[in-house]
Amino acid sequence: MFSVADAESRVADLVAAARRAGADAADAVYFRNQSTEVQVRLGALEDVGRSDGEEIGLRLFVGKRSASVSSSDLSSDALIALVDRAAAMAREAPEDEYAGLAPADRLLTGSAIDVDGDDGADPSPAALKERALAAEEVARAVEGITNSEGAGASAGRTLMALATSTGFARGSITSGYGCSASVIGGTGAGMQRDYAYHSTRHLVDLEDPEAIGRRAAELTVARLNPGKLASGPMPVVFDPRVGSSLLGHLAGAITGAAIARRTSFLLGKLGEQVFAKGLTIRDDPHRPRGLRSRAFDGEGLPTSAMDIIADGVLTTWLLDSASARQLGLAPTGHASRGGSGAPGAGTSNLFLQPGTVSVDGLIADIKLGVFVTELIGHGVNGVTGDYSRGASGFAIRDGKLVEPVAEITIAGNLKDMFLNMAAADDLEFRRAMDVPTVRIDGMTVAGA
């Protein structure tokens, strides 16, 4: 049985034990994850998985020295040993003048924002199986589909709690559901594959499996018999499901750790124009039922919505307490925390606000370009911003999507790409990072 009160009590007790062991300060975090996953292929059940695990982590400070330990054994003896081990490790650790808990006067107090993250549903494995089978059945029925990589459905729930020696002790529960399908079209060397999926916090919001299966099949069939594309500079248009990766590169470049280490291509750009004018990128941790919504961050600070990019201008770094101290700034409520190790920093529900032009209007003046639906590889340099990735999608000729293309490379530099970005009006909230269809002029395409 998931109980926030029990979880809060566990982490508070562990912090109290750390103080009794001689710690000057400590925090503890607890996670319990429970999930069921069902996989089917070719109309038959392939796998059912059920997991239920818990972990507790302790970070302990002795002066300016600290240590982090974690355990999946939550027995009394194991937790006593955990505290003793952390205390011994901290006394031998090097000093770090920036490490420490979040400022006590910045911690969340009073009522927490309700992000409606748990619906209380618990679908049976049989119900998940039926959902997966329905998705695959519709996908396999589409003309041109010749095989299946399978379909799946999942349901899960996560309980977390955080306590600090400065008096914070809170927890939360989130539910999560998903459905996916992946199919193959064509034969021999001409085979192509594609997929579709959807993830939600509430089961009622999950897309119908038939729609997921149909989309997976239609995307696959549309990719059959791809051609080549001439090399050269041209506009590149990113489908929303791949364009969201551009926000990931932004988020990684503005974390406090990257700035403090001077390993970001956006170093020194705070307060400057880094995206095209008119573009706004917002982080909203309070969106009801959002995939990464949360009332407090990984250090106990209250979260708040903010425009990270406002009219193209970079307004903030993403700071946990340690990186904030190193930079002489205040933490921003973006700390993230796993079961072990010190907090890092990251976004919640990050999205690029939509433009005012339709997708057809966005590409209407493109004589020759490419509409990217899949990215391959990881050729992105976070220090310089150099960007080079394999891609496939569709050629754009005279303002229209035409034949599929594959085995191309798109390249540029993220600093230039951001400044030359334009957004369509088709934003949908489906992921933790969302963008509408975006266009970037001046990229280099290497094709045939």
Pick from 346, 347, 342: nearest CA to 98: 342
Q: What is the mean pLDDT of residues 238-261?
A: 97
Q: In the numeric block, which tokens belong to residue 427?
A: 């934003």
On the question of pLDDT at 241 being above 70, the answer is yes
Residue 261 C-alpha from the chain's centroid:
23
Q: Whole-angstrom Cα distance, residue 89 to residue 91?
A: 6
Q: Whole-angstrom Cα distance, residue 51 to residue 191?
A: 35
- Read off the pTM: 0.95
Q: Whole-angstrom Cα distance, residue 198 to residue 178?
A: 6
**Torsions phi, psi for 328 (to 5 deg):** 70, 30
3-class DSSP state for residue 133? helix
On the question of pLDDT at 151 being above 90, the answer is yes
Q: Is the dihedral of CA 272, 277, 278, 280 positive or negative?
A: negative
Report the chain's mean pLDDT, rounded to a whole number. 96
Give the CA distances from residue 342 to residues 97, 224, 225, in Å, rounded to whole numbers and listed in that order.
Answer: 14, 47, 49
β-strands 313-314, 386-397 pairing? unpaired
Confidence of residue 447 (pLDDT cuts 50, 70, 90): confident
Pick from 243, 237, 241: nearest CA to 396: 237
Pick from 265, 278, 94, 117: nearest CA to 202: 117
pLDDT at 187: 87
Q: What is the mean pLDDT of residues 54-59?
A: 96
Confidence of residue 178 (pLDDT cuts 50, 70, 90): very high
- Biggest CA–CA distance in the chain, Å, is 73
Q: How far apart are the first and last CA of the chain?
A: 58
pLDDT at 401: 96
Q: Whole-angstrom Cα distance, residue 167 to residue 41?
A: 51
β-strands 350-352, 433-434 pairing? parallel
Q: Which residue has the higher pLDDT, 340 or 20?
A: 20
Confidence of residue 377 (pLDDT cuts 50, 70, 90): confident
CB neighbours of residue 262 within 10 Å: 9
Q: What is the mean pLDDT of residues 213-225?
A: 96
| Residue written as token pair 């049989």 | 126
Confidence of residue 448 (pLDDT cuts 50, 70, 90): low
Q: Report pLDDT digits (tens) over 321-372.
A: 999 999 999 999 999 998 888 899 999 999 999 999 999 999 999 999 999 9
On the question of pLDDT at 32 being above 90, the answer is yes
For helices 76-92 and 4-20, the axis angle rounded to 10 degrees is 50
Is residue 307 within 8 Å of residue 315, measured between CB atoms? yes
Q: Where are the domains positioned within the chain?
A: 4-220, 226-448
Q: In the numeric block, which tokens belong to residue 205?
A: 């919001």
Is residue 162 within 8 Å of residue 11, measured between CB atoms? yes
Q: What is the mean pLDDT of residues 271-300?
A: 97
On the question of pLDDT at 185 being above 80, the answer is yes
- The CATH superfamily label for domain 4-220 reads PmbA/TldD superfamily (3.30.2290.10)
3-class DSSP state for residue 182? strand
Give percent of the chain above pLDDT 90: 95
Give strand ranges (E) for 187-274. Answer: 192-200, 232-238
